[in-house]
Structure 1
Amino acid sequence: MEKICIDGAKMLLRSRYFPCEFKTFASHKYTAIIGLGGNIGNTARIFDRFLNLILKDRRFAIMQSSPMLVNKAFGYASRDYINAVIILKTSLYAKEILRIMHCFEARFKRTREFKNSPRTLDLDILYFSAKSYNNNILTLPHPGASSRPSVFIPLGLMKGV
């Protein structure tokens, strides 16, 4: 069997919460797809800890998570990244979700030294209920959502997406 490599994608990882389908019944009105990334520390463990926290947050109902993808860093050459995607339901607006995701990043000691710098946890809103935004705070869909293997591979491995 021939090994296929797509733009730096190296291998898939599994953990306690990745991949997973959650039996969640929520009446939230919006669906958000969130991208997770990181390459500082034990990223798989950080992802599991983040998901454990957000599962307890009543503002969100996690529906599904992808496998984790190990891939080569882009932009700034550094240690390989791990990326994953989660689908959640919420009644919050996209700007509120962005603020909350930034709080989660800070909780995991995320710093923003420069564009594409190494990070412990990066959380991006990739899609939000088929809505489009484009301002200085938020662009939806995320500009790299349809073109980055770190997004479309994990998303493509999810059921029913």
Structure 2
Amino acid sequence: MTNPDFSENPHDQAPRPNYGGASQPGYPQASHPQPGPHPQPGSYPQAYPQSGYPQPGSYPQPGSYPQPGYGQQPYGYPAPYPGQVVVTTAPGNGLGVAGFVTGLLGLLFCWVPFFGLILGVLGIVLGGAGISSGKRNGSSTGLAVAGLILGIISLIPAIIVIAALNSI
């Protein structure tokens, strides 16, 4: 049984929105571009940008890697951002470290005849050279000063041990 007041499809009687037709009172007319033709399945438009990657089958041979161009950073090193502060470390003081190590070893081995004396003298010489090069290069001189002081301190017991062994 059908109701004579309704048609077969009740949605046919609903008002339809006005897209792109005459404007409604109080609203400006909107202009929308008409959609273009749809691409066929399996075909791709030529408007897509080409990437910097090689197409399949055109990879470079082993050993022929591309080199960075002029003004580009080498691989693995990102370019610093504008306004970025690049922090560099202070140069090391190898003579100061060597003076500290030999001065400390001279203090530990001061009871071994002549070995502690040689290490103490090396600690004094390398510590003094480390202080000089540290001031010249702008590097730290803390270990060089410690090596100089440890070398001087290690000489005192080393000389006492050598004198005691000579008196026997």
TM-score, normalised on structure 2? Answer: 0.18
- Which structure's residues are more often strand, by fraction? 1
State the structure with more CA Rg: 2
- Which structure's residues are more often helix, by fraction? 2
Whose RCO is larger (CA < 8 A, sep 6+)?
A: 1
TM-score, normalised on structure 1? Answer: 0.18
